[in-house]
Each structure stands twice: as C-alpha cells, then as structure tokens.
Structure 1
Amino acid sequence: MTIQVDLGGPLRPSDLLAAREPITVTTGPAVRERMAAARVFLDKALGDDRAVYGATTGFGALVGYAGRTDQRDQADNTLAHLGAGQGPDLDPALVRAALLVRAWSLAQGVSGASPHVVDALTAMLATTFTPAVPRFGSVGASGDLIPLGAAAQALRGRGHAYVDGERLEAAEALRRTGIKPLTLDGRDALALVNGTSLTTAALALAQAGVRRSHRSAQLLTCLLADQLGCDPQFLDPRLIGRFHHPGVSAVAASMRATLDGCVPSGERPLQEPYSIRCSPQLLGAAEDALRYVDNVVEADLGGVSDNPLLFPDDDAVVHGGNFFGQPASFAADLLTIVEAQVGNLVERQLDLLVDPHRNGGLPPMLAAGPGRQHGLQGVQLASTALIAEIRRDATPASMQSLPTNLHNQDVVPFGTQAALRALDQAGLLRLLCGSLALGLRQAAHVGARRPSSHGCETLLAALEQAVPPIDPDRPLEADVHICARTVEDIEISLISGS
C-alpha cells in the first residue's frame, strides 16, 4: 500500500522512513492558497525595489553586490557556484527523506517559493527518482547548501540521479520517470537550498534507528538475566523510585514487564556485574536523552528552515538565521553519546556471555565443541571493532565551529556532520544488538537454562526460529542482521507487556 503524506498536516518521522519507497504527497487548497499569496507578495516586494536576499542580491559574503537581473539567470547563479560537493553519494533513502522535509517547509507558504517547486518535489517522491547527492560540503549553516544544491540540479536535469537503484545522468533519469525538468527563478533556487532539511532528515532517521536499538537492548538484557538465572531485584520499583529519574522508571517498568515470572536460580552472586545490575540506570538515562532528541526532531519537522521569510499580512520580508542547524547539532551529538554508551553496554554483555568464568559455566565462546568449533569468537571480535568505531566518532561536532565565507559564516554548528555521523553509528549499534541476540540464541544451544519468564521465552523462541544454532561453525554476518531484525519485530509487544 502506498503511503500518503499531506503537506497541510504535521510531518512525522514515520513519513520520512516511508519515503525510501515511492509515496503519495498531497497539497490541499489551503497549502496552495498560502503559497500563492506569498508568491504574489514577493512579486510586489520586488516591484517596489525592496532588497530581497537571493532574489536581488549576491549570496553569502557577496550579499552587498547586486545579483543578476534575469531571475532564471539568478537561479543558475545560485546553483552553479554550489556545485562543489565531494565524496560518496548519500544513501538515496536519506536524500528522499530530506526532500520530503524540504517540500513540507516550502509548503508552509513563508518562503515565497513557487507552487510548482513543491509540485516537482511531490512528483519526484511518487517515483523512484532520487538525486545523487555528495556527502561532503555542508557546514549546517545557511542551510545544507551544497547537498541540496546537487538535489536541485538533478531535478533540473543536471548532474546524476538514481532510478530503481541505477545511477544515471539526471536528464535520462527524468526521462525514464516521466518527470519534467524543474524550472526555477532566483527565489525558488535559494528556497530549495537555504534550509537544514538534510540535517533534519538524518537526525530523524538516526533517532528512529537508535530508538529501535534502545528497545532491543532492554529486551536482550532481560533475556540475558533470565538465561543466567539472575535475581531481578535490580529492577525493584522501590529501589528505582528512589533514584527519581523518569527515564529510569520507564525503562525499569518495561523490563519488569518482560521479566514477569522470572525465577532466580539461586546460584548467582548477590550482586551482578554493572552490565546487568546497572542496566536500568544506564538505559533509563538514555531514555531521558532520547526524549530530548524526540523534542528536537519534532520541532525541526514542524519548523520552517529558510531565509528570508515572507509575511504578507504584515507587509514584511524578514531576514535572519532560520537556516542555522544548532538544535539538531546538539541533539545529534547527544544521540552519538547515547549510541556509544548503549553500545558499550551491549558489547560488555556479550563479553560476559562468552566468558565461562562469568556465564555460569557455559563453554568458552559458547562453542558447541571448544577447539573444534569456535562459536561466537568471530562475532565477539567484530563487536569489539564496532564499539571502537562508535566510540572513536563520539567527539561532539557541535563545538568544532570554523569561520568560513569571508567570515559571513563566522560561527557554524556543523549539524550536518553531527547528524550524518549519528545515522552511521545507529547502523553499527543495530549490529551490536544483533550480535548479542545471536549469542543469547547460541547460549540456549550449549546449555543455558530456558527462560522462566514468558516474555523472555517468547523472544528466545523467535530467535531460535530465525537462525539455527552454530554447530558446526559457519559464517555469521547474515545471522547478525537476521537476529537484529527479529528482536525489532517482536520487541514492541513484549515491552508493552501485551
């Protein structure tokens, strides 16, 4: 079923996730009326010889100079000088999400963009056409200029684009999908590029991925504790209530629901290692941080990122900095810290699980025949490499400001870098969760006890159905992905206790 998104309503992270495939994007009469009104007002302002950045002026540090008099010429001028991106192409799914965000922002009717620009974006999103956009070039201020410039050029038939996953000359890609090349004037061109839509999309997609892994980590921690025979008193509501952090209380309640019915073996130490005993405090702090990021994503998706903004009712063209992606930059850096610490937890839990001195006597590396077989040894090595990669990239980007553009952009947030990195690391965190899930499945094969709680037994049964035991050794890269997906598919119903 094709997803439908109405630009007259709120934009949600789920809409961005759906945009990886063709979607139907609609603009109702109210959207078209407000865009048309802003366009009429823009024409009036230009007729009155008002200064309107990007329409009558040069760009960035050259704002003090007159722009080109022909507005189509001005559009060429806008986009040509931004053709400086480098590096590999971004994931087409991310590019499509970014252009959905841009369409929503323009549809609010305060940018002065022509209605046909939004029509072109919605027509593109209904097909598999996706501009080829280079990764490097944005500093997350004055909008994601260079990446969005590449997207705008592709819609004009310049540069490259993907159709059904095939990289083509943009003109050929337009022809194959039946999309007409986009025509622009100076204000249209600037409105397409002068916002942080790529940063917003990357942050929203990263947040969605980390949310899934955060829930997976809760479930897997419960299954680990149950299989080892741990006493679940570390989740006692009296204990947790005295800690007085809302995220910790919420996570502990979810974990208690999953572990409901768990019976301790009586053979474990009085106090478990921190990777089990302190898991609700760690994952709960992550929950509080994720709630902050949720709020930033919601605000970004509900805001207009552009300059200048037009207010016809007030007869005003207002110039300012609504293209400055500092909120998303702070949020993305916080998200990367969450990824690193949740990843640390999951990797340490896997290390505990494969260690016969701490796992209750299970064979080393959970090998079915140690020496003749090696069980999780390769997966654990890879997990160590994954968490090292996440930790190495956890230095905040939002504090790395460098002046550029003749000091017109003398402070920049680097939100694009922060958000793209958070999105990268979300994928690695997912693999760490998949690795632990595979280990828990193997533990059941080599002698771990069956879970005593219904929720954990349900999860283990799903993992056992998804992948066979490691006996004998085999390549496991695909199994890690399968296990990650299995936990994601089952986790919502288990965490809610339904």
Structure 2
Amino acid sequence: MDTRAALRTRVDLASPLRTRHLVAAAGPIDVVVPLEARERTGAARAFLDTAVADGRAVYGRTTGFGALVGFRGRSDGRDQADNTLAHLGAGQGPTLPAALVRATVLVRARSLAQGASGVAPHVLDALAAMLGTTFAPVVPRWGSVGASGDLVPLAAVAAALRGDGEADVEGRRMPAADALDAAGLTPLRLDGRDALALVNGTSLTTAALALALDGVRAAHGALVRLACLLTDLLGCDAQFTDVDLLDRYAHPGAAVVGVRMRELLGGLVPSGTRALQEPYSIRCTPQLLGAAHDALRYVEDVVTADLAGVSDNPLLFPEDDKIVHGGNFFGQPAAFAADLLALVAAQLGNLAERQLDLLVDPVRNGGLPPMLAAGPGLQHGLQGVQLASTALVAELRRDATPASMQSLSTNLRTQDVVPFGTQAALRSLDGVEVLHLLVGSLALGLRQASHVGARSPSAPASAALLSALSAAVRPVDPDRPLQQDVRTATHVVLTTDPEDQP
C-alpha cells in the first residue's frame, strides 16, 4: 500500500472548503465529485442549453465578452471557448507559486460544483483529476483587477488544462501538453460557457487571502509565545496580563490573548529589579495582539464566506427558471480583508522588531551586553540581524498601503469601479514570509540572550520553548553569518506546539 496516498487529504466538493484544504492542495489531494454535485451541475447545464435553444440571451454563451456584450458571440461552442481564453492570454510578470495556483483550482472547483454556473460535469472531473497529481499551470502574476473575477490568471489555468501554455509537473516546467501527458491527464474539452465559468470568479484572490491568513495567524500565535518568553527572560512582572485589567479593556481579543499569556506565564517569578512599568512593547502586548486577534477573526469570516460562495456571472437557478446576470465576481470583501491583513502583518512585524530592539539594548534589557554580543567590540552578536529586521519592517509597511482604494476604470468603463482584491491578497501573501523572518529574528535574539547572561526562565512553558530553540540553534559565539539561523529559529517557533495559537 502506498502510505503517501493513504495520508492524502480528501476533499468532498459538496462540503465546505477550509483553509487547511487549500494548504494541503500544494501536493496531490483526493478530490471527490459526489453524485449530488454532479446532479446539480448537470441540471444547470441542461437548463442552460434549453434556455439558449429557446432564444434567451445568456452572457458569454450568446454574446461577446465585457464591453462587447452588445455583439453576438461565436455560434460554435468550442470556437467560443478558444476566443474566451485567447483574448485573455495577456498576463505578464513573474509567475505565481505552484501551491497558490493549485489552491486556486480547488477554490474554483468548489464554486463550480455548487451547480449555479452551468458548466458540464466533466469539467469538475478534470479539475479533481488535476489536483490528484502534481500538475500546476504556470500563471503570470500581473493582469487581474479582481472584478469580473481573476480573468487573466484564471485564463492561464484553463489554457494549461487544455494543453496550451506551460505547466509544472513534479517541480519541472514544460509545455502544458507535455505536462498533461506526464501527469496522466487528458486535455480538457471546453465550450464557451465552460471556459467563461472557469475564469469568471475571484478564486485566485480567495486562495491567496486564505493562505495569507493562515501564515499571519501562525505568526500571531508564535509572537504570543515569544512575548511570554521575553517577559520571563527579563524577569518582568506579568501584571499587564491581569484578568481584571483586561476585562475592563472590553475587547474580546485582548481577553483571549490574556488568557493564553497567563497560561504560558504560569509559574513566572518576577526578578523584582525591573521598573514599575515596562515599555509598551511588553506592557501593551495583550492589547496589540488582542486587536490583531479580532482583526484575524474578521478576515476569517470573509474567507469562510468566499469559500462557501459562488463567484461567477451569470448564475443559473433551474428550479426557478431564472438566469440572473449580476456581480458575484466582484472581490470587494476580500480586498478590504486583505488590506486589513496587511496592516495586521505590519504591526505584528513592528512588534517583533521593537522587542528585538529592546532585547539588544543594555539600557532596557537588564544589563545584558549591547547587541547581545558575547564579547562586545570583538564580536557583534545580533547587530546584523537587528539591522535586517529594520529593513524587513520597512518592506511590510510599504506593502500595507491599501490596494482596495486604488480603483481604476477599465474595459470601456463597463468595469468603472474595481476592487483590486487580487493585488491586495497577493501582497498580503508576500508579507507572510517577511513577517515569519521577523518572528525568527526575535526568536534568535531570545535564544542568544540566554547565552549572554539572561536568567533561566521560571515558567515551564517558557523553559520548554527556550529549550527547543537552544537545541536547534547554537549560540552566536563567535560571530557567524546568521541567515540560516534566523530561518531555523523561525521554523522552531512556528511549529512548536501549534495549538498555542489563540
């Protein structure tokens, strides 16, 4: 028995999608197209064919696209599909990560499986088959405005499934036709409605936002643990986590974070040598991390709705004899949520950098050597890491400028307002790696502090985290390049006891 296949994630297209499914889609997963999804999809397809035969106008099936909706489309379905994908083959720039593209395909499959788009059932089978392999269409990053769906990038996905363009298989890039053959897949047959339904949704935006949320949430949980370790190593009084204090603050996130910090700081014995009030980067962590917690809950609500919804146009309702043209492809909720997520990431990164700055400063770190150098002057300890952390914070701040306020009219003003949710979500996803490196930089600083004179942690949870860091990263003594150490510390703190995430 192939144990790898036995451990593969199983996704039922009739059931709600979760972010963990999108994360798992980076590799082969088992996607099930259940009978109910097939029946819904088939009924919508039959209704669409009947409506067209009766002379009813259906966007993209009987008409041109976008601003050319007033003109008739091509009468042959396959010819209409060719035209759909050809005119959208305009993407530019660097290519998107294969894991993100595959998550996008899963999101699109779930939307289409709800039976409101009118695709042929074999389209669902093709998407499910693709996700069972390592096949990943090569998709250029630039070209979507997040309205009428992620048209240009999704067109690249659909084209690759037909054997056009390029794709990756087992991490190797090749012509899409060769990639399909290598993966054991058959080129996808599409008519005009199938092609339009594949591209006319915000599935890339949703996938990027969901994966970014997953990454920021992991960093948030790590920063809760690191803030407690910092508090313990410096011998601070943890009264800033007091339950009555935070209850009067009245924000639910602060209360949740406060509960977790009190758990992690159980057994803490203050040194009695610290000032009455700690700097805000310690004293205000429940309030800051609590606000982030509340913001992440909002983003999660948007992701949940996006994963449950149908983003397409038009939508078909056979039971009510309705074909409804509207704007369910408009990614405004995700745009707002992604911009908020970028702000959260920037402030979390800033907190990590400020805590590292405090830790390397002998005026505020309880007398530890400057830059946590084992021999100041002869060695420079975390000086380079602290400089790099400042640059990383600047990266997060630059990318926190809201994309959702940048609306530009396009497509002969049929798209006269656009959300730019794709840009917002992709930038939030970019920021995850930067934020994780800031988390790792702080973790490395805490590990080094224990080497150059910080007291031993008195709280068992702090001692366990420090032990894990010490086992993975040796002391900076003498100086050495620390790029890999930052990444190692990042991995340790993001993977140690993930249930700690509030």
Q: What is the TM-score of this pair, normalised by structure 1?
A: 0.99
- String of CA shifts for 1:139-179, please: whole Å, max 9, x gaps: 00000000000010001110110111111111111111111
Question: Does the residue aligned with 1:457 lie in a helix, a strand or coil?
Answer: helix
CA distance in 1 between counterparts of 2:53 and 2:134 reads 40
CA distance in 1 between counterparts of 2:56 and 2:379 reads 77
**1:264 aligned partner:** 270
**2:4 aligned partner:** none
* 1:358-369 matches, cutoff 5 A: 358-369=364-375
* 1:3-402 matches, cutoff 5 A: 3-402=9-408
CA distance in 1 between counterparts of 2:357 and 2:398 reads 20
Q: 1:469: Cα distance to partner? A: 1.0
Higher deviation after alignment, 64-73 or 163-172: 163-172
CA distance in 2 between counterparts of 1:169 and 1:279 reads 51
CA distance in 1 between counterparts of 2:364 and 2:173 reads 51
Q: 1:492: Cα distance to partner? A: 3.0
Q: 1:368: Cα distance to partner? A: 1.1
Corresponding pairs, count: 496
Contact 2:221/2:500, CA 8 A, preserved across alignment: no
CA distance in 1 between counterparts of 2:500 and 2:76 reads 61
**1:435 aligned partner:** 441
- String of CA shifts for 1:89-148, please: whole Å, max 9, x gaps: 000000000000000000011100111111111111111110000000000000000000
CA distance in 2 between counterparts of 1:184 and 1:372 reads 68
CA distance in 2 between counterparts of 1:228 and 1:387 reads 24
CA distance in 2 between counterparts of 1:61 and 1:349 reads 53
Question: Does the residue aligned with 2:173 lie in a helix, a strand or coil?
Answer: strand
Contact 1:258/1:495, CA 8 A, preserved across alignment: no
Contact 1:216/1:491, CA 8 A, preserved across alignment: no
CA distance in 2 between counterparts of 1:471 and 1:313 reads 73
Higher deviation after alignment, 45-54 or 188-197: 45-54
Structure 2 unaligned residues grouped into runs of 5+ = 1-6
Question: Does the residue aligned with 1:150 lie in a helix, a strand or coil?
Answer: helix
Contact 1:215/1:491, CA 8 A, preserved across alignment: no
- String of CA shifts for 1:159-204, please: whole Å, max 9, x gaps: 1101111111111111111111111000000000000000000000
CA distance in 1 between counterparts of 2:431 and 2:263 reads 29
Q: 1:261: Cα distance to partner? A: 0.9
**1:424 aligned partner:** 430
- 2:101 corresponds to which letter in structure 1? V
Question: Does the residue aligned with 1:239 lie in a helix, a strand or coil?
Answer: helix
Task: Find runs of 4+ consecutive structure 1 residues off by over 2 angstroms.
Answer: 491-496
Question: Does the residue aligned with 1:88 lie in a helix, a strand or coil?
Answer: strand
Contact 2:106/2:127, CA 8 A, preserved across alignment: yes
CA distance in 1 between counterparts of 2:328 and 2:268 reads 52
Higher deviation after alignment, 320-329 or 34-43: 34-43
Question: Does the residue aligned with 2:62 lie in a helix, a strand or coil?
Answer: coil
- 1:172 corresponds to which letter in structure 2? D
CA distance in 2 between counterparts of 1:66 and 1:494 reads 58
Question: Does the residue aligned with 2:167 lie in a helix, a strand or coil?
Answer: strand
Question: Does the residue aligned with 1:135 lie in a helix, a strand or coil?
Answer: strand
CA distance in 2 between counterparts of 1:421 and 1:397 reads 9
CA distance in 2 between counterparts of 1:491 and 1:394 reads 29
Question: Does the residue aligned with 2:266 lie in a helix, a strand or coil?
Answer: coil
CA distance in 2 between counterparts of 1:302 and 1:495 reads 24
Question: Does the residue aligned with 1:167 lie in a helix, a strand or coil?
Answer: strand
Contact 1:228/1:359, CA 8 A, preserved across alignment: yes
Q: 1:495: Cα distance to partner? A: 5.8
CA distance in 1 between counterparts of 2:400 and 2:34 reads 43
CA RMSD of aligned residues (A): 0.9
Question: Does the residue aligned with 2:193 lie in a helix, a strand or coil?
Answer: helix
CA distance in 2 between counterparts of 1:492 and 1:415 reads 29
- String of CA shifts for 1:411-467, please: whole Å, max 9, x gaps: 000000000000001111111001000110111011100111011111101111111
Q: 1:476: Cα distance to partner? A: 1.3
CA distance in 1 between counterparts of 2:479 and 2:109 reads 50
Structure 1 unaligned residues grouped into runs of 5+ = none
- String of CA shifts for 1:258-280, please: whole Å, max 9, x gaps: 00111110010000000000111
Q: 1:494: Cα distance to partner? A: 4.7
Higher deviation after alignment, 243-252 or 481-490: 481-490
Question: Does the residue aligned with 1:352 lie in a helix, a strand or coil?
Answer: helix
CA distance in 1 between counterparts of 2:171 and 2:481 reads 28
Question: Does the residue aligned with 2:11 lie in a helix, a strand or coil?
Answer: strand
- String of CA shifts for 1:302-325, please: whole Å, max 9, x gaps: 000000000000111110000000
